[in-house]
A and B are shown apart, each in its own frame.
Chain A
Amino acid sequence: MNPAATSSSLPEVAQPVLDVRSLSASYGHVEALRSVDISVGRGELVAVLGPNGAGKSTLLRAIMGLIPNHGEVLFQGNALTRRKPGAAATKGVVLVPEGRGIFGPMTVLENLELGAYSVGRDKKEVERRLTSVFGLFPRLKERFKQTAGSMSGGEQQMVAVGRAMMADPKVLLLDEPSLGLAPRVTGEILDTLGALSQSGLPVILVEQKAPLALQLACRAYLLSLGRIVATINPREVKSHDELAQYYFA
């Protein structure tokens, strides 16, 4: 295999639901993201890979408007960039941040209810979404009264993903969902993400454990020093060595 900048036979890109064009972001004078283009369509799970400090988390934070950025983020054809933080979430672009960002002292139920904050006071809709999330993660139903911070890492990740699903996302972004989790639990979480993607939900998965992400992804972007350096067709990557060639090319 010749690890060129882009895989030779990438599957056809579905009509993008989220289309990121020339997105750049800086921390002070340090440019952390340089003119990045990525997109995700309905039913796609795309992975963003790269070493530590490549700009993966920055990319997700810039999409969500959590850090100053320039460029375009089109969601269903409409621009999101430079909107105030939180605007993306209310539109249906939902991020599960690195470290999960759960509200530790609050109960599982309260965490999930807050995921549906944008629903307002429509209790029936919140109930409907709760039922759906409990279907996805039955363990959360068993422990809905427990404070989220007292749960295991895997269960906390379920709370984080469940809370994101309570927002009825149109696009789901996940930042390192496997961080600090046992392999079995990671597998469980990723299987759920795969199922969600197959049900039509566009997913952008930032992941350090590239082999795991490539098992699920239909396309992967390799980020290095804030730039996309390769777009990979996971089916063309047959071994760890081939993947390593992308990293070192």
Chain B
Amino acid sequence: MDNISLVLQSLISGISIGCVYGLIGIGFCVIYNASGIVNFAQGAFVMIGGMATSVLMTDFQLPYAAAAIGAIIIAGIVGAAVERLVVRPLWNRNVAIFVMILATLAAQIVIERMAYILVGDQPKTLPPVSDLPPMMLGGVAVNIQSLWILASSLIIIAALNVFFKTSRTGKAMRAVSINAEAAVLQGIPVSRMLTLAFVISAMLGAIAGILLTPTQYTAFNVGVPFAISGFIAAIIGGFGRPLGAFIGGIALGVIQSMAILELGAGFKNVAALSLLLLFLFFRPSGLLGSTR
């Protein structure tokens, strides 16, 4: 394979993994906009997506689609539980935001350990969504799973856009993110919107996990690295900007892929963290400008 083909293949692979980082980053944004909290339990939802789908398929013999939907629902319930049991009690006591952020980190560890107790420490994987061979595009072999990831991500972004722009609940969530007190004055149930933000965010994380697992593997402890990638994606895009997080995720994925190609796999995280530092030094508000 010539150099250009390798670069193009890495580019496609980077875009594909970047879409997943973007979805995780959007999860960060949805909760941040609703509450100002950076939810470090986001990685746990990614883990739940892959693990629960695998368990539902192997132990409960559910078909792929049903297992995936089941996993997304489980993640949504866990997300609601994190909000109700961890964040809400602190929120009601008006504690500082950083305390709630630390509490979500603790929740991440608890969920991770519960997964370890329930499912064990063996890595799990999922079959590709389709058995088709890689598609050849001008000498570049494109993995069909990458196309699935790309297509699913774009559909989810479009669906989220429609939800936030046109639905009554979506508009109410946006209003809460802009001015929570003014939203209360309109009779918008702000606390319900916060729960919903956690549910949506958890579901996005789970979808990311389901899309990723066929290309990699999942285990009880995969959450934190993915959460860090999603967090970096959100910062690159402008914290609180869902579209920014998606673009940031793709940028991060592409730069990681190129670093692996040119410098070796050991430089993957170096490239990611260097990109993060560059943004923090020179453009801390991200590509689209942060919301707060």
Please report A residues at the B interface, Cβ cutoff 8 Å. Answer: 64, 66, 85-86, 89-90, 94-95, 97, 101-106, 110, 113-115, 117-118, 121, 163, 167
Give which listed residue, B178, B179, B184, contacts A86 with CB less than 8 A: B184
Q: What's the Cα separation between A97 and B172 when bound, in Å?
A: 18
A121 touches B168 (CB 8 A): yes
Give the residues in chain A near B174, CB-CB below 8 Å. 103, 105-106
A64 touches B188 (CB 8 A): no
A106 touches B186 (CB 8 A): no
Give the residues in chain B near A101, CB-CB below 8 Å. 179, 181-182, 185
Interface centre among B181, B182, B188, B190 (most CB of A within 10 A): B182
Q: What's the Cα separation between A66 and B184 when bound, in Å?
A: 9
Give the residues in chain A near B171, CB-CB below 8 Å. 106, 110, 113-114
Please give me the 4 A-B residue pairs with the lowest Cβ-Cβ distance, nearest first: A101-B182, A89-B187, A90-B187, A118-B187
Give the residues in chain B near A95, CB-CB below 8 Å. 185
A114 touches B185 (CB 8 A): no
Total A-B residue contacts, Cβ distance less than 8 Å: 60
Give the residues in chain B near A106, CB-CB below 8 Å. 171, 174-175, 178
Question: Within 8 Å of chain A (Cβ to Cβ): is B189?
Answer: yes
Q: How far is the CB of A153 from chain B (nearest CB, A)?
A: 16
A103 touches B185 (CB 8 A): no
Give the residues in chain A near B184, CB-CB below 8 Å. 66, 85-86, 89
Give which listed residue, B168, B172, B179, B185, contacts A89 with CB less than 8 A: B185
Give which listed residue, A66, A105, A117, contacts B186 with CB less than 8 A: A117
User: Which applies to chain B's interface (DSSP): helix, strand, loop or mixed?
Assistant: helix
B188 touches A114 (CB 8 A): yes
Give the residues in chain A near B188, CB-CB below 8 Å. 86, 114, 117
Q: What's the Cα separation between A49 and B205 when bound, in Å?
A: 52
Give the residues in chain A near B179, CB-CB below 8 Å. 101-103
Residues of B181-221 at the interface with A, using a CB-CB cut-off of 8 Å, are 181-190
Given contacts A103-B178, A103-B179, contact A97 B187 (CB under 8 A): no
Q: How far is the CB of B128 from chain A (nearest CB, A)?
A: 41
Give the residues in chain B near A115, CB-CB below 8 Å. 186
18 contacts between A and B (CB under 8 A): A66-B184, A85-B184, A86-B185, A86-B190, A90-B187, A95-B185, A101-B181, A101-B182, A101-B185, A103-B175, A103-B179, A105-B178, A106-B171, A114-B171, A114-B186, A115-B186, A117-B187, A167-B187
Q: What's the Cα separation between A121 and B169 when bound, in Å?
A: 10
B168 touches A97 (CB 8 A): no
Given contacts A113-B171, A117-B168, A121-B168, contact A103 B187 (CB under 8 A): no
**Closest B residue to A64 using CB positions:** B185
A97 touches B182 (CB 8 A): yes
Q: How far is the CB of A94 from chain B (nearest CB, A)?
A: 7
Please report B residues at the A interface, Cβ cutoff 8 Å. Answer: 168, 171-172, 174-175, 178-179, 181-190
Give which listed residue, A64, A90, A114, A121, contacts B172 with CB less than 8 A: A114
Q: What's the Cα separation between A118 and B182 when bound, in Å?
A: 14
A97 touches B181 (CB 8 A): yes
Q: How far is the CB of B95 from chain A (nearest CB, A)?
A: 16
Q: What's the Cα separation between A66 and B182 when bound, in Å?
A: 11
Interface centre among B171, B181, B186 (most CB of A within 10 A): B186
Q: How far is the CB of B239 from chain A (nearest CB, A)?
A: 16
Interface centre among A64, A104, A117 (most CB of B within 10 A): A117
Q: How far is the CB of A180 from chain B (nearest CB, A)?
A: 17
Interface centre among A64, A95, A113, A114 (most CB of B within 10 A): A114
Q: What's the Cα separation between A101 and B174 when bound, in Å?
A: 14
Give the residues in chain B near A167, CB-CB below 8 Å. 186-187
Give the residues in chain A near B190, CB-CB below 8 Å. 86
Q: What's the Cα separation between A174 and B114 when bound, in Å?
A: 52
Give which listed residue, A64, A85, A114, contacts B175 with CB less than 8 A: A114
Q: How far is the CB of B169 from chain A (nearest CB, A)?
A: 10
Give the residues in chain B near A103, CB-CB below 8 Å. 174-175, 178-179, 182
B187 touches A66 (CB 8 A): no
Q: What's the Cα separation between A106 and B183 when bound, in Å?
A: 13
Q: How far is the CB of A91 from chain B (nearest CB, A)?
A: 9
Give the residues in chain A near B187, CB-CB below 8 Å. 86, 89-90, 117-118, 167
A94 touches B182 (CB 8 A): no
Given contacts A114-B172, A117-B168, contact A86 B182 (CB under 8 A): no
Q: What's the Cα separation between A66 and B188 when bound, in Å?
A: 14
Q: How far is the CB of A158 from chain B (nearest CB, A)?
A: 16
Q: How far is the CB of A102 from chain B (nearest CB, A)?
A: 7
Q: What's the Cα separation between A102 and B187 when bound, in Å?
A: 14
Interface centre among B175, B182, B184, B185 (most CB of A within 10 A): B185
* New A-B contacts (4) at CB < 8 Å, excluding given A113-B168, A163-B186: A86-B185, A86-B188, A101-B181, A114-B183
Q: What's the Cα separation between A64 and B183 when bound, in Å?
A: 13
Q: What's the Cα separation between A49 and B230 when bound, in Å?
A: 51
**Closest A residue to B171 using CB positions:** A110
